[in-house]
Amino acid sequence: MENTFAANLRRIRKERGITQEQLAEAVGVSAQAVSKWEISGYPDAQLLPSIADALGITIDELYGRTREDKSIYLRMIEHIQSIPYDERLVEMIKMCYAMPQSMLGVHDYTPIDPHIYAAEGWSNYSQYINTSGMMQMRNNANLFFFLLMPEPEKGYDDVLRYDENMVKLFRFLAVPNALRAVYMLMGSEDMTFFRSDTLTEILGISKKNAQEILDGMREMGFIFETVLNDGKSEEKIYYFKVGNLFVEFLTFTWLLLHQPENFNYQWDNRERKRFFRNDTYKVKKDDEKAKKD
């Protein structure tokens, strides 16, 4: 009969992506001791709290004693909250990596290969697509992301429908130096407010080009403007308010330009090949008539 403690210790350590050497260092023993525990031995009782802390679990869990009425979602919340705040995002990445493995029938969690995670010269992905939705994940540390999109009952383009405002967005980004201006503002640590001259000075562009960019930003809702009055004169100043949303936009723009080729896990059994079902791109007769009028 298998030692329950040994089996749980081995399983939980692997799920956490912790090596025997790392656990040994955290507890203050040799890696050989951890290896022995995972085969058939038991540690000294005084070491149990340190082992449990290093794994982010309770001592009861090491012996397989868990409350059956506690849902996996509650246990996940408790697990994340048991980890130091600055390390929680890393743990969530590991959880994300477990999802494609579970979808494809893998029975033992395998952490992201350090060489893949650290790679910068090429990209690696995990992907799962079927009729109910899709999951896309990039496994590289220099740009890691996880996208989970169940397909809405009325189709993706029920909300993501053809919209002339999207045309306006791409037209704005095609304005000379507009994208450079967005990058500049996204990279300015302390630039809460800025002037039109800020664009001309930093980007080295004309006042006419700067005003064209500001007009486009205003139309897209990227900025709001106010007036600075020093008692002698008034000057328009602007506040850039896009924040993290543009990072997310650029991420999936980048993905479209660098389409995935290398996969750790991949599955596509989607029977319906159309992702858009509502034909929102079609011009209605009423719209055609309105344009002619």
Question: Quick one: pLDDT at residue 150?
Answer: 94
Distances in Å between the Cα of 88 and the Cα atoms of 36, 91, 217 are 30, 5, 36
Residues in the chain: 293
Q: pLDDT digits over 133-146, tens only? A: 999 999 999 999 99
Our measurement of the distance from residue 284's CA atom to the centroid of its chain's CA atoms, rounded to an integer in Å, reads 37
Distances in Å between the Cα of 184 and the Cα atoms of 179, 187, 207 are 9, 5, 17
The reply to whether 179 falls in a domain is yes
Which residue range(s) make up the domain with 26? 4-82
Higher pLDDT among residues 190 and 182, named by residue? 182
Distances in Å between the Cα of 155 and the Cα atoms of 158, 160, 229, 240, 249 are 5, 9, 51, 33, 21
pLDDT exceeds cutoff 70 at 111: yes
CATH code: domain of residue 183:
1.10.10.10
CATH code: domain of residue 43:
1.10.260.40
Q: How confident is the model at residue 77 (pLDDT cuts 50, 70, 90)?
A: confident
Domains held by the chain: number = 2
Examine the fold and report which residue of 38, 67, 82 is the final residue of a domain before the chain moves on: 82
Question: Quick one: pLDDT at residue 202?
Answer: 95
Q: Give the tokens for residue 58.
A: 């309770």
Question: Quick one: pLDDT at residue 193?
Answer: 86
pLDDT exceeds cutoff 90 at 234: no
**Mean of per-residue pLDDT scores for the chain:** 88
